[in-house]
Amino acid sequence: MDSGDVLLDISGVSRSFGDVRALDDVSIQIRENEFFALLGPSGCGKTTLLRVIAGFEQPDSGTVTLDGVDLLPIPPEKRAVNLMFQSYALFPHMTVERNVGYGLACERLPRDEISSRVDEVLTTVGLTDKRNALPKTLSGGQRQRVALARAIVKRPRLLLLDEPLSALDRKIRGEMQMELKRLQHEVGITFVVVTHDQDEAMSLADRVAVMDRGVVRQLDTPLDLYRRPRSIFVADFIGNSTILRGRFDQGTWIGDSAPGLSVPDTCRDAIALALRPEALTIVPTDDPRARVRGEIVEVFFQGDHALAQLRADGTVYLAVLRDDVLPRRGDPRGLAWDESAPIPLFEE
C-alpha cells in the first residue's frame, strides 16, 4: 500500500492481561476515508484494539501513528479520534439534544453552531422528533442512535464504533447500516467499526480484518475474504462452506472425503479445501458429472433460495438448490462442481 494513503498505522501492537494475549503482534494500516471493519468472535481483542487507538489502553509493545504522528503519548481527549463504546452511556438527566451537543458545549462552540450541528445529525439518525426526550423514555435502538449522533457530531478524523448496531432489531439494523455507509461517505470521516456479525462487516466495509485470539488472521476486501480465504478459520467464519481436509498428491486430493478427487495445481500446498454452497450442483446419482454420491440429510428454506445438506462418505456438504422440485430427506443424489471450485486453504 502507498504509505501516502495511510491515516492510521498500527504496527506490531501487543497487549496482555495476565495470561491472556488480547492483542498479539497486530499490524493494520487504515487509509484516509476508509470504512474499515474489525471482525471476529467474542474475546478476540476487538475492543482492546479500539481502546489502544483511542488512548484508554497502552500497548505492551508496538506503535500507533495517525497522519504519521505518534499517538501513544497523547491523552485520549487530545486525539482526533472518537470512540463510541460498546456499552455507550448517555447522560440520564439530559435530553437527547443536550446529550448529542454535550461534547460541542465542552469545546465552548457558539450556541447557534451547536444547535445547527445537532439538528443536522439528529436528522441523519432519524431522531428529530425525540430531541426533547430523556434517554429512559427511548427504546434500546433509539438510545444507540443518540450515542451514534453524539460520536459523529464532533467530526473526528477517525471514528471508532464498537458494535454500533448490536441493540437494533433486524429491520432497523439494515436501515442503519445503509445510513452509516451514506453518512461515512458524506462526512468524509474514516470509520473503524467493530462487529462480530460477518454480514454486517461484509456489507459495510471497504476492507475487513478478521481477528482470532488476538491475531489478525486475514485482512482483505469482503470479496477477497469470501473468494480467497487463506485459512480454515476464515473460510468457516465468513459464509458457509464445506471443508475437506487432506493433502494434494499429483493432481488428486487424498482425504477421508471425496476419495480420488481431481483438483487443480493451485491446491498443491493446501491443508484443506473449501467448497461454497453456490459452487455445488445437486444432480441425479447416475449423472456422470457427479463427483460424490450420497443422500439428502436436510433442506433449509432461506426465502429467496434453499440449501440442502447431502451426506457422502461421512462428509456433510452444503449446496444451493436450483430446482423447483425440492429433494426430500433420504433421497439419493450426487454433487457436481467445476474443477476450479475448490478453494485451497493453507492454515488451520
* Site residues for Mg ion per CB under 5 A: 47
Q: Which is nearer to ligand ATP, 46 or 143 (CB)?
A: 46
Per DSSP bridges, beta strands 6-17 and 20-31 are antiparallel
Spatial CA neighbour of 275 closest among 287, 300, 292: 292
Q: Which of 8, 39, 45, 294 binds ligand ATP (CB under 6 A)?
A: 45
Site membership for ligand ATP, residue 217 (CB under 6 A)? no
| Shortest Å, Cβ 109 to ligand ATP | 33
Site membership for ligand ATP, residue 161 (CB under 6 A)? no
Residue 222 binds which entry of ligand ATP, Mg ion, none, with Cβ cut-offs from 5 to 8 Å by kind?
Answer: none
Site membership for ligand ATP, residue 48 (CB under 6 A)? yes
Q: In a 10 Å sphere around its CB, with 0-12 CB exposed, 13-18 middle and 19+ buried, how is residue 11 labelled?
A: middle
Handedness of CA 80, 56, 193, 87 (dihedral sign): negative
Spatial separation of the C-alpha atoms in residues 322 and 325, rounded to whole Å: 9
Spatial separation of the C-alpha atoms in residues 231 and 344, rounded to whole Å: 9
Of 42-50, 177-185, 253-261, 305-313, which part binds ligand ATP (CB under 6 A)? 42-50
**How long is the chain?**
348
Q: Mark 75-104 with x for binding to ligand ATP (rule: CB under 6 A) and - for no binding.
A: -----------x------------------
Q: Which helix (H) or strand (E) holds 139?
A: none
Spatial separation of the C-alpha atoms in residues 143 and 238, rounded to whole Å: 30
Size of the site for ligand ATP (CB under 6 A): 13
Site membership for ligand ATP, residue 300 (CB under 6 A)? no
Binding site for ligand ATP (CB under 6 A): 17, 20, 22, 40, 42-48, 86, 196
